[in-house]
Amino acid sequence: MPHILTIVGARPQFIKAAVLSRVFSADASFKETLVHTGQHYDYNMSDVFFEELEMAPPAYNLGIGSGSHGAQTGKMMVDLEAVILKEKPDCVLIYGDTNSTLAGSMVAAKLHIPVAHVEAGLRSFNKKMPEEINRITTDHVSTFLFCPTQTAVDNLKNENIQKGVYLSGDVMYDSVLFYAQKASNILDQLKLQTENYALVTVHRAENTDDPVRLKAIFSALGKSGLPCVLPAHPRLKSYLDKYGIQPAANLSLVDPVSYLDMIQLEKNAKMIITDSGGVQKEAYFFHRPCITMRDETEWVETVSAGWNKIVGADEKAIIEAITRFTPPDSHPDFYGEGNAGEKIAEVIKNHL
């Protein structure tokens, strides 16, 4: 029976891990031990996902919390090493590109435990992003590399990584298919009407921590006059306060919302304006035009298909895109068939 030790810590990882946890719990040949590093800890950044996605509570919560990259990652590594030595798993399963991903992959690889990386091969080619460092490092020590897209497979090939690479499709697509029909009354709660608002998220360090970029983004959103609902990541809230930025009257900042509420907001938005990785893809899944406030993206297919417009943090470009951006009729599939979770579990089972 393969014993999988899954490491999560940040909001998008709870959502991705729920997909695999469902597959593992339906197959008696797997044992899964879930470890939460505690990177995200507010109720609406963590517990709400376990409750709503009906995940078992983690067997361990390391309670690491926030900190500088070195301090946060270092503390995670110390505690993860102790857990992995105690649990002796056959495989350590990690998701995405956060500091929890990096800490998990480094510790497991040095203990000679196979690392399975879900969302392998993504690249922004911008090493100023902490996520890019985390991804590159993790991919180079992983045994199983589960790529959501062909582009990700190609990126790995360009770095001479070909062994253990699987084109699995995207677990976030599985997740949207599974949860999209479930109820949420968020539109009523926020008094929103379908296609009458833009859904906005801003949390990427390169935007929040930089006063010039953050001011340009909020100025553009304000000048656009478009009603915007903005579930605000705690990182955004603290930097808006720090830089004394007052959101304009057309921007409605709300606390982070649950996953079912978020996908309901996405499905019904006139457009989505974001710097999130996951939200760009979800915009594509729901056929919503996406404006991405970054200088590049890992999800390049959404851009080449004409559904995602990269605008950086440039005030004029953001306003121009809000006013004019219109995706084409065509909408090719890039993210698999909605069975990435099953494919990943199958590979792990066959190799352990």
Which residues are identified as catalytic?
A: 203
Binding mask 40-79 vs ligand UDP (x if CB under 6 A, - otherwise)? ----------------------------------------
Query: Per CB under 6 A, which of residues 273..312 are in contact with ligand UDP?
Result: 276-279, 282
Contact 282, 176 (CB under 8 A): yes
45 binds, among ligand UDP, ligand UD1, none (CB under 5 to 8 A by kind): ligand UD1
Q: What is the DSSP letter of 295?
A: S
Q: Which of 95, 239, 259, 284 binds ligand UDP (CB under 6 A)?
A: 259
The answer to the question of residue 148 lying near ligand UDP (CB under 6 A) is no
Q: Which of 11, 123, 213, 267 binds ligand UDP (CB under 6 A)?
A: 11
Spatial distance between the Cα atoms of 225 and 53, rounded to a whole number of angstroms: 35
Torsion from C-alpha of 262, 263, 268, 274, nearest 10 degrees = 60
- Nearer CB in complex with ligand UDP: 19/262: 262
Contact 165, 153 (CB under 8 A): yes
Q: Would you tell me which residues interact with ligand UD1 (CB under 6 A)? A: 10-12, 39-42, 45, 66, 97-99, 130-131, 203, 205, 233-235, 238
Pair of tokens at residue 13: 């990882």
Instruction: Please choose, from the candidates 314, 324, 230, the residue with its C-alpha nearest in 3D space to the C-alpha of residue 269.
Output: 230
Spatial distance between the Cα atoms of 13 and 266, rounded to a whole number of angstroms: 19
234 binds, among ligand UD1, ligand UDP, none (CB under 5 to 8 A by kind): ligand UD1
Contact 334, 301 (CB under 8 A): yes
End-to-end CA distance of the chain: 9
Q: Which residues, other chains included, contact 236 with Cβ-Cβ below 8 Å and sequence gap of 6+?
A: 202, 203, 208
| Nearest-approach distance from CB 38 to ligand UD1, in angstroms | 9
| Nearest-approach distance from CB 115 to ligand UD1, in angstroms | 17
| Nearest-approach distance from CB 279 to ligand UDP, in angstroms | 5
> Which stretch in 8-16, 100-108, 158-166, 286-294 sits in contact with ligand UDP by CB under 6 A?
8-16
Q: Mapping DSSP to helix (H, G, I), strand (E, B) and coil, where does residue 301 land?
A: helix
> Which stretch in 101-109, 218-226, 271-279, 344-352 sits in contact with ligand UDP by CB under 6 A?
271-279
> Which stretch in 26-34, 107-115, 214-222, 252-260 sits in contact with ligand UDP by CB under 6 A?
252-260
Pair of tokens at residue 190: 């926020």
